[in-house]
Chain A
Amino acid sequence: MNQENRPSHPSTLEHPVIWIGVIGGTLGSIVLLDRIAWLALPLILAVVFYYLVHPALVRLQHWGLAPQHSLAIFLVLASLVCVVASLTVLPAMLNSLNQFQSNLPETMQRLTQIASEFLRNIEARFPMAKKADLAEGLQARIDFFAQGKGTQFAGDAALFAFKWLPSLLLVPFLTFFFLRDGTAFHQLILRAVPNAFFEKTLLLFDRMNRQMHAYFRGMFWLTVLDTVTLGLGLWLLGMKDGTFSFQNAMLLGLVCAVFAWVPYVGTAVGGLIAVCVCALQSPHDPQLLLGVVLLFCGVRLLDEFLYTPATVGRALHMHPLVSVMMIFAGGMLGGVYGLLLALPLLGIFTVLGQMFGEIWFDSRLRARHAARNLLEKRLASNDLDL
């Protein structure tokens, strides 16, 4: 049958059943991943590492190395980096952490003091705030937290870390097996695909692969852009009083950019961290604090209207309304998990939906598969002399 003679079907994703399937699949996966979070977290991290490392391994293989040799080279390099990092960066990090721990009570006290002062100023200007007893209320809550809940919170945090540590130890183990057996697994799945659907399935794998690569590449560039914008912004804001060195501003920018991986909530948390750091560095400079808040609002807008559409949005080819709705729905169903995974899962299910539509609505492919089954049956009957 010629292409032009085939009955025309609506473009695959315009079909309502497929749209419902895509949205249902995305939300269902978020709920499922949230339920099995202990296993899902290392799996997701291993997939992320796989997508970050795999292109380098493929490049080595294209240069003529066998897959096992390219993996061995990567493992040796990764081990070397780990050893060098544990000898150089790790002691410095532990030292900083130790210093941070010993300074924590003082830092907390200063932060509380700054926040109380700020609230008292507000109370002095606005009678409504005075009625609400903002400063007193904050102090009471902080005292309550530090005396009772605080110790419980520290215990919970320790238990949380103890619970998640074995799960995180699975990550390198899973990544290794994904890298070692990923290609064989891919071939194994393709071998099970009937001949009639083979080319379409190859196309599906390719599109999914491209979608994942594009998403992670998009996230990488988004992080770089956010880091540079925030880092430069913080550096310029604090330049007058020498609040931040260039390195510290960039480091703070990087931390905030990483927090921004969690849509909406992450930016707010990152902004709060930056405000706290500024408040500690220059407690009597409200202009700086206002500047930082404005900087974060500006970067949020840049993210929404310029950076994300140019990096991740373009990679996933999604309508902004659909992306935002899915992020909110994901957040409601799966919390932070849902916020983080909504977009990549939507990307995967969109491709799956497209391909399912292309195969399901292609009567010729289904007929070809049915013909193959008939040939198999006939062959079996002949063998049995039926």
Chain B
Amino acid sequence: MSFWNFLRPPPLDPKLKLVGSTAIFQNCTRQELETLRLYLHERHYLAGEIVFDEGEEGEGVYIVASGKFRATRKGMLKKKNLGEILPGECFGEIALLKSSCRLATVVAEEPSVAFAMFRSELERLADARPRLGFKVAVQVARLMSSRLHRFLEGETDTSILS
């Protein structure tokens, strides 16, 4: 081990590494991610368990830590499968912007772990650190815009994942 290793900061917590790799928080600095740690709520889901329902009022965003989730939406005749949500991806981000109805039902496909982040807590954080709030808001807008484009181009239906 070199002497200078002593001056290096300790490695980032794997939880925060994962959060930092998601689309919404990818522009956050290490210090900002450390602050986010206070607001991460770890939730464990069994295979087949519902995370939230379509039409339910949403209060926060979920980041998949392990396992697999599936998003579905009611169709005219049968359920429409919107796709799988894998580790490092997030869902429910529209709830970060406002308290609105969930647009899809998300179910755990296998035993899974997700980190939930609550809108009100993030809003308070954004009040105290506007730069962080701005970064998160811009990333949520970008994510939604890219999903809308993909949806309009008919590539996939994931614009309604949130």
Chain A residues with a Cβ under 8 A of chain B:
1-6, 58-59, 61-64, 66-67, 183, 187, 190-191, 195-196, 198-199, 202-203, 206, 364, 368, 371-372, 375-376, 379
Q: Is the CB of A3 within 8 A of B56?
A: yes
CB distance from A149 to the nearest CB of B (A): 54
Which of B47, B54, B74, B118: most chain A Cβ within 10 A?
B118
B120 on the A face (CB < 8 A): yes
Q: Please determine whether B55 and A1 come into contact, CB atoms closer than 8 angstroms.
A: yes
Smallest beta-carbon distance A157→chain B, Å: 45
In the complex the two chains form, is B129's CB within 8 Å of A206's CB?
Answer: no
The answer to whether B120 and A376 have CB atoms under 8 Å apart is no
Do B116 and A375 touch across chains, with their CB atoms under 8 A apart?
Answer: no
Point out the residue from B45, B52, B54, B129 that lies within 8 Å of A62, measured CB to CB: B129
CB pair B38 A61 closer than 8 Å: yes
User: Is B145 on the interface with A (CB-CB < 8 A)?
Assistant: no
The reply to whether A375 and B47 contact each other, CB–CB distance below 8 Å, is yes
Contact at A364–B59, with CB atoms within 8 Å? no
Q: Which residues of A contact B34 (CB under 8 A)?
A: 64, 66
B101 lies within 8 A of chain A by Cβ: yes
Residues of B within 8 A of A64 (CB): 31-32, 34-35
Query: Is B38 a contact partner of A183 (Cβ separation < 8 A)?
Result: yes
Q: Are A364 and B128 in contact (CB under 8 A)?
A: no
Q: How far is the CA of A302 from the CA of B22 in the complex (A)?
A: 54
The answer to whether A379 and B55 touch across the interface, beta carbons within 8 angstroms, is no
Min C-beta distance of B72 to chain A, whole Å: 13
> If A190-B41, A198-B43, A202-B41 touch, does A371 touch B49 (CB 8 Å cutoff)?
yes
A202 touches B49 (CB 8 A): no
Q: Which residues of B contact A67 (CB under 8 A)?
A: 38
Nearest-Cβ distance from residue A58 to partner chain B, whole angstroms: 7
A residues near B41, Cβ cutoff 8 Å: 187, 190, 198, 202
**B60: chain A residues within 8 A (beta carbon):** 199, 202
A27 to chain B, nearest CB (A): 30
Majority DSSP secondary structure for residues of B touching A: mixed
Do B46 and A1 touch across chains, with their CB atoms under 8 A apart? no
The digit string for B47-75, where 1 denotes a CB below 8 A from any CB of A, is 11111111111111000000000000010
Interface of A is mostly: helix
Interface residues on B, range: 35 or more
B101 and A3 form a contact (CB under 8 A): yes
With an 8 A cutoff between CB atoms, is B121 at the interface? yes
Complex Cα spacing A196 to B60, Å: 14
**Looking at the complex, which one of A62, A183, A372 makes contact with B128 (CB distance below 8 Å)?**
A62
B141 within 8 A of partner (CB): no
Cross-chain contact B49 with A195 (CB below 8 angstroms): yes
Q: Are A376 and B53 interface neighbours, CB within 8 A? A: no
Q: List 14 A-B contacts (CB under 8 A).
A: A2-B55, A3-B57, A61-B38, A62-B35, A62-B125, A63-B128, A66-B34, A198-B43, A199-B116, A203-B120, A206-B120, A368-B53, A372-B49, A375-B48
CB within 8 Å for A379 and B59 given contacts A62-B125, A202-B118: no
List, in ascending order, chain B residues with CB within 8 A of A375's CB: 46-49
> Cβ of A59: which chain B residues have Cβ within 8 Å of it?
128
Residues of B within 8 A of A203 (CB): 59, 120
Question: Is A364 within 8 A of B56, CB to CB?
Answer: yes
- Beyond A59-B128, A195-B51, whether A2 also contacts B74 by CB under 8 A is yes
Residues of A contacting B118 with CB < 8 Å?
A: 199, 202, 206
Contact with A along B121-146 (1 / 0, CB 8 A): 10011001100000000000000000
Q: List, in ascending order, chain B residues with CB within 8 A of A1's CB.
A: 53-55
**Smallest CB–CB gap between A349 and chain B, Å?**
21
Q: Which residues of the partner chain B approach A371 to less than 8 Å between Cβ atoms?
A: 48-50
Residues of B within 8 A of A187 (CB): 41
Residues facing A in B80-120 (CB within 8 A) are 101, 116, 118, 120
On whether A206 and B121 interact (CB within 8 A), knowing A61-B38, A62-B129, the answer reads yes
Q: Is the CB of B38 within 8 A of A202?
A: no
Residues of A within 8 A of B128 (CB): 58-59, 62-63
A4 and B55 alpha carbons, distance in the complex (Å) = 8
Please pick, from A61, A66, A199, the residue contacting B59 in the complex, using a CB distance under 8 A.
A199
